[in-house]
Each structure stands twice: as structure tokens, then as C-alpha cells.
Amino acid sequence: MANNLQELERILVCPKCHAPVRLVARKFWCTNEECRRSYSIDEHDIPHMLISEALIEDSAAPSGETVPAAPLSTAAPLEPRGESQ
């Protein structure tokens, strides 16, 4: 069966910035690194391309393809804190 979502990936753009979107993990991700919105897809394979429903991700669209080791940004250290000692 043809994958509808992959068809949609080719034609949809981010409603916010009009960059192409990428289908990863059942979400459409804006490929614009400054926008970084992701749009959910419901159980009927309907993408919700609404700016008001978009999530703003910490990083741009993850690539499902081979990527050179992406340097992690130092922006978000995940150190637990609050415990003294």
C-alpha cells in the first residue's frame, strides 16, 4: 500500500515559514533550523499543519538518512541539579 504520508511529505510545507517538511517518527518536521516546528499526525494519517498546534522542538528536523555525526549543541545541558553533594 502506498504510503500517503510520504506523498504528503513531498508537497507539504511548514505553514509558519514555508520551508519543506520532513516525515520523521510520525510527525512532520519543519526543515528550517530557525523555525523547528513539528506537526503531529493523527491516527487517520491526517497531519495537523497548524501553527497553533505545532511544537517547537529543541533542534531542527532529525534526519532519517545517514548523517555525519551531528555536533550536539551545548545549549541544553541535562545535568540533574538541586542535590547538594
Interface with Zn ion by CB under 5 A: which residues? 14, 16-17, 19, 30, 32, 35, 37
Residue type, 16: K
Nearer to Zn ion, 51 or 70 (CB): 51
Q: How far is the CB of 53 from Zn ion (least distance, A)?
A: 13
Nearer to Zn ion, 2 or 25 (CB): 25
d(CA 70, CA 55): 22
Nearer to Zn ion, 22 or 37 (CB): 37
Q: Please provide residue 16's backbone torsions phi and psi, each rounded to the nearest 5 degrees.
A: -80, -50
Q: Please provide residue 22's backbone torsions phi and psi, each rounded to the nearest 5 degrees.
A: -125, 135
Q: How far is the CB of 3 from Zn ion (least distance, A)?
A: 23
For residue 17, the 8-state DSSP code is T
